[in-house]
Chains A and B, each alone.
Chain A
């Protein structure tokens, strides 16, 4: 099992070489064995997933047609609503919240006959870069359990890297799929904003949030995207397929992109650790050997991305999180004196420190008298960043950057320094501001045997090309095949 990819497993299940029940049991055993240490899951659905696996096995035995993820055990980040289990967002305020509906992506996974084995840990409400902001549990990096898995989709990343599922869904608001994928040595894709329905994803920064896959390789990512992409009438911001046609992301994935032009941004290199710079340079060299033309490009407003991001994301978050007030659902304080205290105390008790910090930042940015100077200005910067990318993509097909300035850092190293923590997203944030797709894939290891990630960015709705470009590199390298030692233990 440890040697199989999701696609290979799916094919074996469909061919009757292995049953979904066997595969699911293996995954549940691995969770049982390793998740005490890794801490990837908030909920595990042992009974339910075995029942589902049995149903799918029955379908296959009866010769019925099955979906693209037939019998494959997958995980979902715990900020996507499910009618089974809780949807906690790793927050005390929603610790016992049971959603009355399934997120659109959950519905799609089920329709594709996936087996959802559990829901994974995250930074509370997806706010963070290390999963240390989870109010419910700690997740560690399977490559070094004294280090963070990254975040906010740290649970999904660690689960995939630790082979505690075959693939997982994460959400990416400023890098929350790509950064933990980079830290955990797996592949993570943030699709174009609007490509995947957000319906049922608990909102953090609505104009930035996008759901995407975390998987063991590029093809598995493409498969997952095939399942979850598409217009959803319940999400007004999901894109009309007439304007941006869907395609089979696995089609031609092995075919190298001809006349490939890759952009690199010299100013980026300086900010990253030397070993990361080297790994990226080597990757670029490899593309050159594969026939790509390397072109230096300029993203002049890059340095303002983090500032703009933290205005837009926190402003939206302050409004999105207003509904958690103890009145309708979720944690409610005991013995309030009046309804104002229902609000203030429920929220004080229910939210963690980072969430409170961002609510306050966002509330401030939207306040009358400050709106123009902060929020409006941030929107203008956002437009400039968008334009930077539009201009760049006139010259190149894609842009290669590091995913992070460092490899996975130690647990506790940055918790008291939010600014340092925010910088962990410096390379990923601008893709969210511009709404463009980005993929993170392994491109090396540092001296501590920690994975190094490479980010490739592409123009909006060019996921197919992006995946092909990533696959060109992956098919010539072995980084994605290395496994953390904990798996074999």
Chain B
């Protein structure tokens, strides 16, 4: 038996589609699923004589994202033409950035299962225009839809700092959260707003010697699932191949593979990395972009607290679990809603209040479910953070129980009434009236002499028996009895 260990090495190239109103170099609208070739103009069609004009907003969005990724922002950056022939590329060159990207040398912290975070280095981020789409739908020909041509794309390249599919997934999710927080991309995977290209290989230690397998680049993955699965598949495939052939990394033996979703496997596209010659050169139609301090400061002022920072703060400040903090910070709108509810509580504690944990429960257990059902954000459901804070306080005070709170929240999406009124109207207030509850307690005591006996005799069974009686009372009140009051009555009657 030989001694064999291996480590997966993964770097990522990520394309993020920016959510500007218009394209990168012309005034055409960015719209998903519009009728083919309906969002085009002479510029994005690459007609003779047209010239590109930089979308300043797209540049600012990119800088904002790069700042969030802790990148250095270049004071001078330029545009380059990347030449290749393909029917979905109208000019047969793509306007991109080659040797002077607008940003480089950053990092992103990704949360790990253990609760720790890991720093993944960002090599560079640059801005470019997207190509159109070739459609092979019918007959002995292909069609080209150029609606997407000229869409601003942020390309982010990481160092090969990831060592598992989980870490890659964590980075992908974290990046999605960040760009959404910043409002620079919708980052909708299904619409192709984020596309991943992992570079994968293994460092295998066999009998004390280290071997590196040839790097495989998997192209154009547009779901987290495919991203994870392709890495797992590649790791196994490369291990098998190494054991089988002993093939190791050499100059020029990087391969390109595609993901076959139906068969859940990667498929070879190009064996050897072709000596692609993109003939990059500076685009003479566009001026270089010079970033001055004032402009950079203005963009910096648009930065917000990032999701992972928020998540950590929620755990420390509000004593929430990692899980709850993660759910609340998944979307910026949810986190903001939560924070508004919490601050409403704090500011007006003398009127109402509720602790963050109770607010969190209402949001995560009922609020997000409703939002999901109605396909909207929390704040679009029609209730205010203040009323959610009121509702949390009602739960805390035992005025309503947790399940009643969910019902009330749902009702709050339909009416403008405050939660107290709804609770009253729907008869959801917990019964705390001692007289009314005493009658039920008496009935339960009469029906359960054995349990009463057990309580009175003290000893081991007493606690369990009292719990049983409490349950019976609550059940008989159809869940409306306030358990605190019932406990007090029971203790008094049985002592």
B285 at the interface (CB under 8 A from A): yes
Contact status B85-A233, CB under 8 Å: no
CA A339 – CA B54 in complex, angstroms? 31
B50 at the interface (CB under 8 A from A): yes
Q: A327-B144, A363-B279 are in contact. Are A87 and B48 (CB under 8 A)?
A: yes
Contact status B85-A99, CB under 8 Å: no
Closest to B25 in A: A236
Closest to B279 in A: A366
Q: Mark B47-61, 1 if CB is under 8 A from A, else 0.
A: 111111110000000
Contact status B277-A319, CB under 8 Å: no
B467 at the interface (CB under 8 A from A): no
In the assembled complex, the CB of A99 is this many whole angstroms from the nearest CB of chain B, namely: 7
A436 at the interface (CB under 8 A from B): no
CA A367 – CA B47 in complex, angstroms? 25
Q: A236-B54, A323-B46, A323-B48 are in contact. Are A206 and B285 (CB under 8 A)?
A: yes
B312 at the interface (CB under 8 A from A): no
In the assembled complex, the CB of B59 is this many whole angstroms from the nearest CB of chain A, namely: 13
Contact status A233-B53, CB under 8 Å: yes
Q: Mark A365-385, 1 if CB is under 8 A from B, else 0.
A: 011100100010000000000
CA A325 – CA B45 in complex, angstroms? 13
Closest to B54 in A: A236
Q: A100-B47, A199-B50, A236-B53 are in contact. Are A319 and B90 (CB under 8 A)?
A: no
Would you list which residues of chain B between 262 and 319 have a CB under 8 Å from chain A?
A: 275, 277, 279-281, 284-287
CA A366 – CA B283 in complex, angstroms? 13
Instruction: Count residues on chain A whose CB falls below 8 Å from chain B CBs.
Output: 44
Chain B interface mostly helix, strand, loop or mixed? loop
In the assembled complex, the CB of B16 is this many whole angstroms from the nearest CB of chain A, namely: 24
Contact status B42-A101, CB under 8 Å: yes
In the assembled complex, the CB of A299 is this many whole angstroms from the nearest CB of chain B, namely: 24
Q: Quick one: which of B91, B279, B284, B286 contacts A367, CB cutoff 8 A?
A: B279
Q: A323-B92, A328-B46, A375-B281 are in contact. Are A236 and B81 (CB under 8 A)?
A: no
Q: A206-B285, A323-B91 are in contact. Are A103 and B85 (CB under 8 A)?
A: no
Contact status A234-B49, CB under 8 Å: no
CA A322 – CA B52 in complex, angstroms? 16
Closest to B88 in A: A327
- Chain A residues near B144 (CB, 8 Å)? 327-328
Q: A80-B49, A97-B48, A328-B46 are in contact. Are A322 and B91 (CB under 8 A)?
A: yes
Question: Which of the four size classes fits the interface of chain B?
Answer: 20 to 34
In the assembled complex, the CB of A90 is this many whole angstroms from the nearest CB of chain B, namely: 13
B93 at the interface (CB under 8 A from A): yes
In the assembled complex, the CB of B84 is this many whole angstroms from the nearest CB of chain A, namely: 9
- Chain B residues near A158 (CB, 8 Å)? none
B223 at the interface (CB under 8 A from A): no
Closest to B141 in A: A339
Q: Which of A103, A206, A207, A322 has the most CB of B within 10 A?
A: A322
- Chain B residues near A199 (CB, 8 Å)? 49-51
Contact status B286-A236, CB under 8 Å: yes
Contact status B287-A319, CB under 8 Å: no
Would you list which residues of chain B between 47 and 96 have a CB under 8 Å from chain A?
A: 47-54, 81, 83, 85, 87, 90-93
Contact status A89-B53, CB under 8 Å: no
A203 at the interface (CB under 8 A from B): yes
Q: A323-B91, A343-B85 are in contact. Are A236 and B51 (CB under 8 A)?
A: yes
In the assembled complex, the CB of A454 is this many whole angstroms from the nearest CB of chain B, namely: 30
CA A205 – CA B285 in complex, angstroms? 10
In the assembled complex, the CB of A434 is this many whole angstroms from the nearest CB of chain B, namely: 15
Contact status B284-A237, CB under 8 Å: yes
Q: Mark B88-118, 1 if CB is under 8 A from A, else 0.
A: 0011110000000000000000000000000
Contact status A100-B42, CB under 8 Å: yes
Contact status B279-A319, CB under 8 Å: yes
Q: Mark A129-172, 1 if CB is under 8 A from B, else 0.
A: 00000000000000000000000000000000000000000000
A81 at the interface (CB under 8 A from B): yes
- Chain A residues near B279 (CB, 8 Å)? 318-319, 363, 366-368, 371
CA A325 – CA B46 in complex, angstroms? 11
Closest to B26 in A: A234
Q: A103-B49, A325-B85 are in contact. Are A237 and B90 (CB under 8 A)?
A: no
Q: Mark A439-451, 1 if CB is under 8 A from B, else 0.
A: 0000000000000
A466 at the interface (CB under 8 A from B): no
In the assembled complex, the CB of B77 is this many whole angstroms from the nearest CB of chain A, namely: 14
CA A207 – CA B283 in complex, angstroms? 9
CA A233 – CA B25 in complex, angstroms? 12
Contact status A322-B51, CB under 8 Å: no
Q: Quick one: which of A99, A233, A329, A343 contacts B49, CB cutoff 8 A?
A: A99
Contact status B48-A202, CB under 8 Å: yes
In the assembled complex, the CB of A241 is this many whole angstroms from the nearest CB of chain B, namely: 16
Contact status A316-B48, CB under 8 Å: no
Would you list 24 pairs from A and B whose C-beta atoms are within 8 A, ordered by A residue? A79-B49, A99-B49, A103-B49, A200-B49, A201-B49, A203-B48, A205-B284, A207-B284, A235-B51, A236-B51, A237-B51, A237-B287, A315-B281, A319-B81, A319-B83, A322-B85, A322-B93, A323-B48, A323-B90, A323-B91, A327-B87, A329-B47, A366-B83, A366-B279
Binding site for A on B (CB under 8 A): 42, 45-54, 81, 83, 85, 87, 90-93, 142, 144, 275, 277, 279-281, 284-287
Binding site for B on A (CB under 8 A): 79-81, 87, 89, 94, 97, 99-101, 103, 198-203, 205-207, 233-237, 315-316, 318-319, 322-325, 327-329, 339, 343, 363, 366-368, 371, 375
Nearest first, the 6 A-B pairs at minimum CB distance are A322-B92, A207-B284, A206-B284, A366-B279, A202-B48, A200-B49
